[in-house]
Amino acid sequence: MSGFVSFVSSGPGDPELLTLKAVDRLQKADAILFDDLSSGPILTHARDGADLVGVGKRAGRPSPKQDHVSRLLVDYARSGARVVRLKSGDSGLFGRLEEEIIACREAGIGYEIIPGVTSAMAAAAAAGIPLTRRLTARRVQFVTGHDVTGALPEDLNIAALADATATTVIFMGKRTFGELCRRLTAAGLSPGTPALLAESVSTPAQKLVRGTLASMERLIAEEAADGPALILIGPLAEP
């Protein structure tokens, strides 16, 4: 007997940003394996009796190993359950989606991917800015601020990230932003480039802090809390 897995993107945190398809899958699921950032009011859409299993990973905190999460996913589906793997933002962006897809394929389990609102788009909307702008921001690039060790990835294309006509969104970059800033400045990006820290986007704890490439490291130290955050730099992070 084999079940089915729906990889459901929950958006940045506001339950009103869930898609209709996401709500439908949550209401029909026998088991929901959810990230920390997908908990709270979003789980009120789960039906009575569904198994709710927290499998979230947060930097600096004890977290389930990825192979354990994948094994849980497969075990539930093999029992015939309709399984929702609930991921924050859009599941295809820095969400370890590929490992879990591979586990489903190897086990012969069917799956679907339901896209959602990314935190980058929600942050831009909260700040009242577009991610692209005619003539001055022709390109958008998303990048992670840390590797599996928590350090700034060594293989980042700094020349591309230092493009003054691109909007760059850095996920999980609070701890490593100072080092990234120094590399971008050395590559020619102006220290005066606008920057925006967006923390806990679309939730009651939302915080937006505007600054520049040069001032953002200090602002992160002074203003940032413990919530999930991203940093936007480029022409669109202007006040």
Active-site residues, by number, are: 35, 57
Ramachandran assignment for 61, one of left (phi > 0), alpha (psi -120 to 50 degrees), beta (any other): beta
How many residues can be counted in the chain? 239
Calculate helix-pair angle for 66-78, 97-106, nearest 10 degrees.
Answer: 40
The tokens describing 8, both together, are 């459901």
Beta-strand relationship, 51-54 and 31-34: parallel
- Sequence letter at residue 139: R
In Å, what is the CA distance from 25 to each residue of 9, 82, 220?
Answer: 11, 9, 37
- CA distance linking residue 105 with residue 1, whole number of Å: 16
